[in-house]
Amino acid sequence: MQKPRRMTPNVAVLFHYTHQRKGSDEGMPLVPLTQVLGEAVKGGYGVGAFNCNNMEQVQSIMKAAQECKSPVILQASRGALKYTNMVYLKHLVQAAVEEHPEIPVVLHLDHGTLEAVKQAIPLGFTSVMIDGSHLPFEENVAVTKEVVALAHDHGVSVEAELGTLGGIEEDVVGEVQLTDPDQAAEFVERTGCDALALAIGTSHGAYKFKAEPKLAIDLVAEVWDRVHIPLVMHGASSVPQDLVAEINKYGGKLEATYGVPISAIQATIKYGVRKINVDTDIRLASTAAVRKLLAEEPQKFDLRDYMSAAREAMTKIVSRRMHEFGCAGHAFDYKPITIADMKVKYAQ
């Protein structure tokens, strides 16, 4: 009989990744959002959902998750899909789960349309957001129902949104409309969505508030009482003042601005928010690091120098958020399932 060949450690690791970690339809052992948020409901914590557009962002978010032993939601906007030509993003995330096989990772489409959902599901996304918040109620119900049917048929989770945020939300011009709890109950009942994004006074981007903000925190408890599905907070960046100052110190021109205080986010987590979307803080951290490095060492021109600085800064802010949201330490609380498992559950 032929003696089995001994593998070098690296080959053995690669073998393990490629042969043991296959689970989902796409060979990516990604986890559905419903499981990650369901566990967060049980544990009473929030899970950070971090936007990513390139390798350094994926790496820094994953490094933070590994160090914090935290489940994580990697989310890609339609802009990110366009920027990465989709296939790069898919393989970046595949690399991430291969490198960190023990971390529960959700790949989520942020602010999707029906068209984007149809692109994301075959790419291996385990969760999609259908953002019909700018539509009249009945149209939002109709498109969300259509997405729920399509996504659940593949075991993919669905986040929907009711109410409108302030600021620069896609396709939304006009005033902020806070989520109505009665409408939320009807919406969830009629659509069967798995998670609901609320409008409680936040907005996207760096320019959220001109002074200390007031959020409709009680609304979270009112909605949770009626819908009992995990709630989502968009526009949750805190816009750290030290990062704004650092950017401006090294040549940036950001205006005075305030984000969402961490204490306010923690209050919403107490009342039922389980997914917390953060993009702007990562943009600020990376920009500050790149500006600082290039200003202090103007002789440098190797992209790896300033992207390494950016990567380190992004890991730091994401780790901080994982501790503040309470998801740190929860990566190994449960055995991850796949969308194939969810498909069976939805069919029941």
Which range binds ligand 13P by CB under 6 A, 58-66, 135-143, 277-285, 295-303?
277-285
Q: How many Cβ atoms from other residues are within 10 Å of residue 160's Cβ?
A: 28
Residue 171 makes contact with ligand G3H by CB under 6 A: no
Find which of ligand G3H, Zn ion, ligand 13P, none residue 94 binds, CB within 5 to 8 Å per kind: none
The DSSP element (H or E) to which 229 belongs, if any, is none
Q: Which of residues 80, 219, 331, 342 is near ligand G3H by CB under 6 A? A: 80
Radius of gyration of the chain (CA): 20
Residue type present at position 50: F
The token pair that represents 213 in the structure block:
């903000």
Which does residue 236 bind out of ligand G3H, ligand 13P, Zn ion, none, counting CB within 5 to 8 angstroms by kind? ligand 13P
Stretch touching ligand 13P by CB under 6 A, among 56-64, 151-159, 271-279, 306-314: 271-279
Q: What mask, x for binding ligand 13P by CB under 6 A, covers residues 145 to 164?
A: --------------------
Q: Output the smallest distance, CB 12 to ligand 13P, in A.
A: 39
**CB distance 324 to 266 below 8 Å:** yes
Strand bridging mode 157-162 / 72-77:
unpaired
Q: Pinpoint the alpha helices (H) of the chain.
A: 9-20, 33-43, 55-68, 78-83, 87-99, 114-123, 137-152, 181-191, 217-227, 241-249, 262-271, 280-296, 303-325, 339-347
Identity of residue 127: S
Active site residues: 110
Phi, psi of 341 (to 5 degrees): -65, -40
d(CA 164, CA 264): 19
Taking the complex as a whole, how short is the minimal distance between the CB of residue 279 and ligand G3H, in angstroms? 3
Window of 172-180, 234-242, 284-292, 310-318 that interacts with ligand 13P by CB under 6 A: 234-242
- Residue 166, CB half-sphere, CA atoms under 13 Å: how many? 15
Written as six digits, the tokens of 258 are: 């305030």
Return all residues near 6 (Cβ < 8 A) that are at least 6 apart.
Answer: none
Q: Which of 26, 39, 56, 110 binds ligand 13P (CB under 6 A)?
A: 110
Minimum CB distance to ligand G3H smaller for 204 or for 208: 204
Structure tokens at 44: 């009473």
Binding to ligand 13P (CB under 6 A): which residues in 24-63? 51
Q: Does 130 bind ligand 13P (CB under 6 A)?
A: no
Footprint (CB under 6 A) of ligand G3H, residues 274-313: 279
Name which position in 90, 108, 234, 311 contacts Zn ion (CB under 5 A).
234
Residue 318 within binding range of ligand 13P, rule CB under 6 A: no
Which positions touch ligand 13P (CB under 6 A)? 51, 110-111, 204-205, 234-237, 277-280
